[in-house]
């Protein structure tokens, strides 16, 4: 596939449960969410890449007060995850009780999943690796 | 090289809070009057206006605010430009004013900023604030503004052992200082127990970890060193200023326990001033959330990374401590009308430096620093002021 990756297609891929990061053609750095410029080498030519879906939980929060679009979903967990391919992404976190955040340990292995929100959107999401 | 020519000759703010019945332009004009005619600075001396507002489009359905606000404040005809950098809008307006005077384009300019936020519901205000984060990649997932700082807090707690109690102590200190500040939104002290009330906004941040939704305005007059003595006997020199940007997305940052734009902007300001953190008598930092004050105190070099919470615990940052931070109550207790905050912070530093802070006066007040950052920390402006006779 030689098409130039776009943000629109990146978001559509998530909707289709087919997450694909950008990859710098010059140095191979995996980039997600998309950037117009590679943050490793400054290159601006990108292609699509695949990921294993394995990552590590870096930090998280539980949202209790949210804009109207997310009212029916609160409380929900937002997590920062390092993917094993070396890029860091933001997503939802499933598999935990949002009212027991103390049970969520930083550094735990997680795997990529998707979540259909009541907002009508599909979120990039993660769940603990069993 | 230190800046040579810019001096502050007045600075004022309106009361912050729920200013029911007062619109954006009215509060703006009130702040302008307090910083000009009320202190015998004629409006006709002002040559340009640098305006700060954040999202009046979403909050009061009004864009193109600079000419509108300036006209209502009796300054029709002057060059007027709006500056927007989320919560750092005010400080970017101030920085442009500083650069205009240093470049000799103008002698005397006005910096004025305002935000009207209580005209919408809390959810709508949360949504407006979320516009300061990356809409395509983070806000659209439901990450809120408090959520961003909650993620930083969780990382800071994990890495350095900072606790929810440490964050609560920042709130208690802010309220204690604001109790004697008649312009503050919350003029009352709170107990640790109250600060720890488990009413979560974005876990682990609770209601009392968050700055409120506020209305308010602030203004100041800057002029050249030569003209300053026409207006005041106690001018304050702007000796350094720095600005930096960072990624909007939290996930594009390698560090979650420090804000790189704060580090870069403060180092640039210190370098320009030829001064270091040890030369600062006090600081006014951007405590939109309690954890933000702890991290900012580390990022501007007042304390080593991870030592910010201990400084609060030991009273070092209290009004009567060795390194006072937010001596008049900060965003947390004085209020946070987003676009106005950066100018208000400069007004606080100015008033402390000239000995005009009343019950909130810090003991040593030759040199002070202000740190104003925007959104997820993607913009930061740091400026250093010094009393001209110090």
Instruction: State the smallest CA–CA distance between residue B262 and chain A in angstroms.
Output: 20
Q: Give the model's pLDDT for residue A130.
A: 80
Q: Which residue's structure tokens are 């207006």?
A: B231
Phi and psi torsions of B10, nearest 5°: -160, 160
Strand partners, A5: none
CB B126 within 8 A of CB A67: yes
Q: Look at residue A82 and tell me if it is in a domain.
A: yes
Q: Which three-class secondary structure state does DSSP give residue A69?
A: helix
Q: Which residue of A has its CA nearest to B207?
A: A65
Q: Does B117 touch chain A (CB under 8 A)?
A: no
Q: Give the model's pLDDT for residue B84.
A: 97
Helix, strand, coil shares, percent, chain A, to 5: 15, 35, 50
Q: Which three-class secondary structure state does DSSP give residue A70?
A: helix
Helix (H) or strand (E) holding B379: strand B379-387
Cβ-Cβ pairs closer than 8 A, A with B, add up to 108
Nearest to B202 among A64, A80, A88 (CB): A64
Q: Give the model's pLDDT for residue A119.
A: 84
Q: Give the model's pLDDT for residue B3.
A: 81
Question: Is the whole model's pTM more than 0.90, yes or no?
Answer: yes
Same domain, A108 and A60: yes
How many domains is chain A built from? 2
Identify the band that residue B122 occupies on the pLDDT scale cut at 50, 70 and 90. confident
Question: Cβ–Cβ of A80/B250 closer than 8 Å?
Answer: yes
pLDDT (tens place) for every residue of chain A, 130 residues total: 557 899 999 999 999 999 999 999 999 999 999 999 999 999 999 999 999 999 999 999 999 999 889 999 999 999 999 999 999 999 999 999 999 999 999 999 999 999 999 988 999 999 999 8
Instruction: State the smallest CA–CA distance between residue B275 and chain A in angstroms.
Output: 32
Residues 6+ apart with CB under 8 A from B231: B9, B10, B39, B40, B41, B221, B223
Find how far residue B32's CA is from the centre of its chain. 18
Same domain, A61 and A101: yes
Same domain, A80 and A38: no
Same domain, A43 and A60: no
Report the C-alpha gap between B142 and B150 in whole angstroms. 14
Identify the band that residue B336 occupies on the pLDDT scale cut at 50, 70 and 90. very high
CATH number for A101:
2.40.50
Burial classification of residue B159, based on how many CB atoms lie within 10 Å of its CB (0-12 exposed, 13-18 middle, 19 or more buried): middle
Q: Look at residue A85 and tell me if it is in a domain.
A: yes
H-only helix segments in chain B: 24-35, 56-59, 65-72, 89-102, 122-130, 145-160, 164-178, 192-195, 225-228, 260-273, 290-299, 308-313, 330-334, 341-353
Q: Look at residue A16 and tell me if it is in a domain.
A: yes
CB B369 within 8 A of CB B384: yes
Q: Which residue of B has its CA nearest to A89?
A: B251
Task: Sketch out chain B's domains with CATH numbers.
Answer: 6-120+213-236 (3.40.47.10), 132-211+238-387 (3.40.47.10)
Q: Look at residue A1 and tell me if it is in a domain.
A: no
CB atoms within 10 A of CB A93: 24
Q: Give the model's pLDDT for residue A2.
A: 56
Same domain, A82 and A121: yes
Mutation test of the interface with chain A: which of B126, B129, B252, choosing the one with the most A Cβ atoms within 10 A?
A: B252
Q: Give the model's pLDDT for residue B1.
A: 65
Residues of chain B found within 8 Å of residue A39, distances taken between Cβ atoms: 252
Tens digits of per-residue pLDDT, B62-105? 999 999 999 999 999 999 999 999 999 999 999 999 999 999 99
Nearest to A106 among B137, B158, B202 (CB): B158
Same domain, A33 and A58: no
Same domain, A35 and A58: no
The interface pTM score, or ipTM, of the predicted complex is: 0.97
Q: Give the model's pLDDT for residue A94.
A: 97
Report the C-alpha gap between B32 and B160 in whole angstroms. 44
Tens digits of per-residue pLDDT, B282-329? 999 999 999 999 999 999 999 999 999 999 999 999 999 999 999 999
Strands (E), A1-130: 22-24, 30-31, 46-48, 54-63, 76-83, 88-93, 109-116, 122-128
Tens digits of per-residue pLDDT, B7-49? 999 999 999 999 999 999 999 999 999 999 999 999 999 999 9
Find how far residue B204's CA is from the centre of its chain. 24
Query: ∠B91-B95-B99 over CA atoms, to 5°?
Result: 170
Q: Look at residue A104 and tell me if it is in a domain.
A: yes
Same domain, A117 and A62: yes
Question: Cβ–Cβ of B151/A67 closer than 8 Å?
Answer: no
Identify the band that residue B4 occupies on the pLDDT scale cut at 50, 70 and 90. confident
Same domain, A63 and A26: no
Q: Look at residue A2 and tell me if it is in a domain.
A: no
Report the C-alpha gap between B65 and B57 in whole angstroms. 9
- Token reading at A92: 């939802």
CB B262 within 8 A of CB B374: no
Q: Which residue of A has its CA nearest to B142?
A: A70
Tens digits of per-residue pLDDT, B346-369? 999 999 999 999 999 999 999 999
CA-based end-to-end distance of chain A: 34
Same domain, A78 and A103: yes
Q: Look at residue A24 and tell me if it is in a domain.
A: yes
CB B6 within 8 A of CB B98: yes
Domain extent, residue A11, equals 7-48
Nearest to B141 among A7, A71, A123 (CB): A123
CB B302 within 8 A of CB B323: yes
Q: Give the model's pLDDT for residue A93.
A: 98
Last residue within a domain, chosen from A15, A33, A48 = A48
Same domain, A14 and A62: no
Instruction: State the smallest CA–CA distance between residue B308 and chain A in angstroms.
Output: 20
Q: Look at residue A102 and tell me if it is in a domain.
A: yes
Judge whether residue B234 has pLDDT over 90.
yes
Q: Which residue of B has its CA nearest to A8?
A: B136
Same domain, A44 and A100: no
- Token reading at B256: 């979650």
Chain B 239-258, residues with CB within 8 Å of chain A CB atoms = 249-253, 256
Tens digits of per-residue pLDDT, B196-231? 999 999 999 999 999 999 999 999 999 999 999 999
């Amino acid at each position: 596939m030689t098409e130039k990756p776009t943000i629109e297609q990146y978001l559509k891929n998530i909707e289709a449960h087919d997450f694909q990061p950008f990859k710098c053609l010059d140095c191979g750095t995996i980039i997600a969410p998309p950037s117009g410029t590679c943050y490793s080498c400054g290159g601006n030519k990108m292609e699509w890449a695949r990921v294993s879906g394995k990552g590590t939980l870096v930090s998280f929060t539980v949202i209790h007060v949210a804009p109207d679009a997310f009212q029916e979903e609160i409380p929900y967990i937002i997590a920062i995850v390092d993917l094993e391919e070396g890029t860091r992404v933001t997503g939802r976190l499933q598999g935990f009780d949002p009212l027991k955040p103390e049970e969520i340990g930083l550094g735990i292995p997680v795997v990529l999943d998707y979540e259909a929100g009541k907002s009508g959107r599909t979120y990039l999401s993660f769940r603990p690796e069993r | 090289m230190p800046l040579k020519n810019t001096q502050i000759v007045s600075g004022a703010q309106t009361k912050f809070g729920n200013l029911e019945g007062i619109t954006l332009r009215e509060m703006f004009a009130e702040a302008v009057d307090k910083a000009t005619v009320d202190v015998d600075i004629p409006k006709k001396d002002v040559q340009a206006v640098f305006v700060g507002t954040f999202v009046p489009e979403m909050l009061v359905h009004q864009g193109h605010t600079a000419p509108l606000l300036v006209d209502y404040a009796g300054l029709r005809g002057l060059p007027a430009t709006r500056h927007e950098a989320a919560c750092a809008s005010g400080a970017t307006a101030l920085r442009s004013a500083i650069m205009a005077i240093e470049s000799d384009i103008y002698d005397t300019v006005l910096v004025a900023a305002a935000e009207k936020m209580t005209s919408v519901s809390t959810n709508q205000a949360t949504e407006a604030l979320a516009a300061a984060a990356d809409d395509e990649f983070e806000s659209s997932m439901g990450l809120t503004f408090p959520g961003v700082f909650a993620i930083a807090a969780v990382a800071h707690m994990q890495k350095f052992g900072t606790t929810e109690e440490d964050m609560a102590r920042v709130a208690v200190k802010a309220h204690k200082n604001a109790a004697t500040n008649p312009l503050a939104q919350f003029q009352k002290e709170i107990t640790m127990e109250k600060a720890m009330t488990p009413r979560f906004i974005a876990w682990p941040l609770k209601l009392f970890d968050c700055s409120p939704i506020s209305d308010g305005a602030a203004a100041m007059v800057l002029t050249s060193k030569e003209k300053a003595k026409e207006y005041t006997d106690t001018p304050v020199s702007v000796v350094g200023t720095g600005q930096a940007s960072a990624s909007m997305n939290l996930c594009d940052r390698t560090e979650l326990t420090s804000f790189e734009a704060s580090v870069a902007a403060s180092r640039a300001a210190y370098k320009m001033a030829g001064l270091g953190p040890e030369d600062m008598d006090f600081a006014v930092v951007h405590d939109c959330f309690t954890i933000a004050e702890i991290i900012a105190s580390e990022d501007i070099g007042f304390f080593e990374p991870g030592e910010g919470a201990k400084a609060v615990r030991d009273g070092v940052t209290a009004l009567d401590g060795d390194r006072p931070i937010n001596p008049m109550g900060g965003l947390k207790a004085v209020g946070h009308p987003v676009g106005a905050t950066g100018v208000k912070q400069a007004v606080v530093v100015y008033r402390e430096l000239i000995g005009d802070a009343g019950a909130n006066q810090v003991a040593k007040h030759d040199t002070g620093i202000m740190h104003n950052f925007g959104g997820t920390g993607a913009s930061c402006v740091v400026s250093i002021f010094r009393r001209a006779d110090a």
